Amino acid sequence: MLSKTSQGFFYATLAVALFSTKSIFIKWAYIYQVDTTTLLTWRMLIALPFYAYILFKLLQQPLRTPLSANSLISMTLLGVMGYYLASWLDLHALNFISAHFERLILYTYPAFVLLINAIWQKRTIKLIEVVSLGIAYSGLLLIFQHDFQIQGSSVVFGTLLVLAASLSFSFYVVGSQKYSGRYGSKLFTCIAMLAATVVIFLHFLLTHEVAALNQPWQVIALAAAIAIIATVIPSFLMNAAIEQIGANNASISGSLGPVLTTLFAVIILDESFTLTHAIGMALVISGIYYLSQQHKKMSQNTKQ
C-alpha cells in the first residue's frame, strides 16, 4: 500500500504523462486533414458533459463565497483566453512545428507569468530571474535555428503561434489565482471551460457548415482522447495530487512534461530528435525549473 506522499507523486506523474499525450493526439488527427477549429470543437463538445456535470454538483453545495456577476464575467473572459484562444493558437501551431518543440515553447509560459506579475505589481525583475529566462530561451533559440534550417519559414509562424498561446494562457494563469482561491479551483475550471466551449462552437458556426462536424471516426476518437485522456482525467489526477502533497510538490513533476512529449513524439510520430534538440531541451527545462524555484522562495519569504 502506497503512502499518502507516494500516492500524491504517483498521481502528479501520471497526470503529467497524460497531459503530455495531447500534442501527439493532435498531430495524429491532422493526418486525416481535419482543420484546427473542427478538431477543437469536437474536443470541447466531448469534454462538455463532464464539466457540466461537475458544475451541477458543485452548485448544489454551499459556495465558499457568493458568486457575483462581476466574478462570473471575469471567469468567463479568463476561460475564453485560456481554453479558447490559447488552445486554438496552440492546436493550429502544430500544423507547422514538431510536437516536442511546441511542448518546449509552452513550457516557458512562466516567463510571461513573471513579466505580467512584475508589471501588475510594479516590481523589478531580479538578475537571477533574467539569467534563468536567458538560459531557457537560449535553448529554444538553439532548437529554432536547427529546425528553421530544415523546415524553413513555417517554423517561424508556428513558433509565433505557440508564443501567442503561451501569452494568452499566462493571463489566464495570473487571473485564475484570484478566482480559484475565492471560489475553488473546480468551480473556476468548470465555468472557464464551459465559457470557452460556447465561444469555440460560435467560432465553428461562423466559419464552417454544421456538416463539417461529420468527420472520420478516427478524428472523433482522437478528439475524444484529447478531451478525456489528455484533459479531463489528468486534471482530476493533478487535483488529487495537490490535495495529497500540496501544489509545490505536485509541480515538481512538471519538468517531465517536455521529456515525455519528446519520447512519445519520437516513438509514435517518428519525429527527428538530435543532439541539438537534447541540449536545447536541457537548457529550457533547467532555466524554467530554476525560475520556478526562485518564485517559490520569494512566495515563502512574502508569507513569512
Q: Give the end-to-end CA distance of the chain in Å, rounded to a whole number.
A: 36
Helices (H), the chain: 4-19, 22-30, 36-59, 69-79, 86-93, 99-107, 109-121, 127-151, 154-183, 185-207, 217-224, 233-245, 247-251, 256-268, 275-303
**What pLDDT is attached to residue 221?**
97
The dihedral through the CA atoms of 83, 89, 92, 95 has a sign that is negative
**What pLDDT is attached to residue 222?**
96
**What pLDDT is attached to residue 252?**
66
Average pLDDT per consecutive 10 residues, the chain (304 residues; last block may be shorter)? 75 87 95 96 94 91 85 93 94 95 90 84 82 91 93 93 93 84 85 94 96 95 94 82 69 79 92 93 89 66 50
**Distance between CA atoms of 279 and 230, rounded to whole angstroms?**
27
- Give me the amino acid identity at 40: L
CB of 150 closer than 8 Å to CB of 75? no
**What pLDDT is attached to residue 127?**
86
CB of 227 closer than 8 Å to CB of 44? yes
**What pLDDT is attached to residue 300?**
54
Cell of 153: 519559414
* 161-220 pLDDT per residue, tens: 999 999 998 888 888 878 887 888 888 889 999 999 999 999 999 999 999 999 999 999
Cell of 140: 529554444
CB of 75 closer than 8 Å to CB of 82? no
- Residue 246 CA, distance from chain mean position: 20
| Closest by CA position to 37, among listed 175, 223, 194 | 223
| Closest by CA position to 188, among listed 226, 240, 235 | 235
Cβ count near 211 (within 10 Å): 6
Mean pLDDT of the chain: 88
**Distance between CA atoms of 282 and 62, rounded to whole angstroms?**
46
**What pLDDT is attached to residue 295?**
64
**Distance between CA atoms of 85 and 192, rounded to whole angstroms?**
12
